[in-house]
Amino acid sequence: MTDWLFLAEVCLAGIGAGALYALTGVAFVLIYKATRVVNLAIGEILMLGGYAFLGFAAGWGLPAWAALPLAVLCGGLFGAVVERTLIRPMLGESPISVFMVTVGLGSMLVGAVELGWGADPLRLPEFVPNRPVFIGEAYLAPKVAYGFVAASLVIAAFVLAFRFSRSGVALRATAGDQGAAYSVGIDVPRVFSLAWTAACATAAGAGVLVGSIGGISPTMGVFGLSVLVVVIVGGLDSIMGALVGGLLVGLIEALAGAFLGGEYKLLATFGLLILILMLRPYGLFGTHEIERL
């Protein structure tokens, strides 16, 4: 006999976690779409957001409502600096070289965080209301629920901005053809900078949400590995793909964790990855002609 309530709770938890994958996936896609850079450091930038929040909230004793925007701001600033100093000089180099720069950036961030805060996992100060959330009869951990709501709002804002704002249109045009965008008066380098800033700010925000659920540690960047699966499943250059892929991966991880055991989580995720790569190498919603790395 199936326990329907338990299944519903597992699914809810999966969707809740999936929203955070989707949010980080959107950050990844934003950078890829605008600049064609595969940013493997996205997980580490997410981690940086968590530690920045810890620094502001615990270190400086700021309240959460001030520490969260500051952490997001830090992420954005970091993204802008990285784009200007590490990525833009690599313009025109082979994609593999730029990709390796982001891998190196990730390791440097892990090292820097270990130097600053040590290698042990830390808990973020509590800032999410603790009252249990019930949807129908199903229980949902409040942090997961609030994380889901926050992620959904940010993603919705992104989708609207992408569709209607001038920056969004400029970004889509740049994604379509850089030379053409440049020639019709779109400031392509500024679009690059904007994409990195917005994406890293988003990742940092996601880091605070992820950290509030599971705590933070220098190895928290492996979250980025699941996000990589998310965007490959959804299609590297599709916001819609990041959304669907995020929810799918969250759901599958939760189901595998609940019914097969925690050690099967990653197995299920990467099983999905292999399946998608065999059936649709460009992802569920991706553009067909994406160069392989």
Partner 1 sequence: MTSELPGSPVLKVEGVSLAFGGVRALSKVSLEAAEGTITAIIGPNGAGKTSLFNAISGFYRPAEGRILFEGRDISRLRPPARAKLGLARTFQNIALFRGMTVLDNIKLGRHAHLRTNVLDALFYWGRAQREELALRQEIEERIIDFLEIQHIRRAPVGALPYGLQKRVELARALAMRPKILMLDEPVAGMNREETEDMARFILDVKEEWGVTILMVEHDMGMVMDISDHVIVLNFGQVIAQGRPAEVQRDPAVVSAYLGSGDVGELSRRLHARQAA
The distance of closest approach from Cβ of residue 160 to partner 1 in the complex, given in angstroms and rounded to an integer, is: 7
Chain centre to alpha carbon of residue 5? 30
The distance of closest approach from Cβ of residue 182 to partner 1 in the complex, given in angstroms and rounded to an integer, is: 5
Q: Taking a C-beta distance cutoff of 8 angstroms, is the pair 75, 200 a contact?
A: yes
Q: Taking a C-beta distance cutoff of 8 angstroms, is the pair 86, 72 a contact?
A: no
The distance of closest approach from Cβ of residue 172 to partner 1 in the complex, given in angstroms and rounded to an integer, is: 7
First to last CA, the chain: 46
The distance of closest approach from Cβ of residue 66 to partner 1 in the complex, given in angstroms and rounded to an integer, is: 25
The distance of closest approach from Cβ of residue 58 to partner 1 in the complex, given in angstroms and rounded to an integer, is: 35
Q: Taking a C-beta distance cutoff of 8 angstroms, is the pair 202, 69 a contact?
A: no
Rounded CA separation 206/50 (Å): 8
| Cβ closest to partner 1, residue 184 vs residue 222 | 184
Q: Which regions of the chain does DSSP assign to beta strands (E)?
A: 133-135, 138-140
| Cβ closest to partner 1, residue 66 vs residue 184 | 184
| Cβ closest to partner 1, residue 167 vs residue 219 | 167
| Cβ closest to partner 1, residue 122 vs residue 240 | 240
| Cβ closest to partner 1, residue 184 vs residue 275 | 184
Binding-site ranges for partner 1 (CB under 8 A): 160-161, 164-167, 169-170, 172-173, 176-177, 179-188, 287
Instruction: List Cβ neighbours of 138 (8 Å cut-off, separation of 6 or more).
Output: 5, 8, 9, 12
The distance of closest approach from Cβ of residue 189 to partner 1 in the complex, given in angstroms and rounded to an integer, is: 8
| Cβ closest to partner 1, residue 9 vs residue 237 | 237
> What angle do the packed helices 265-279 and 223-234 form, to 10 degrees?
30
φ/ψ of 139, rounded to 5, equals -85, 140
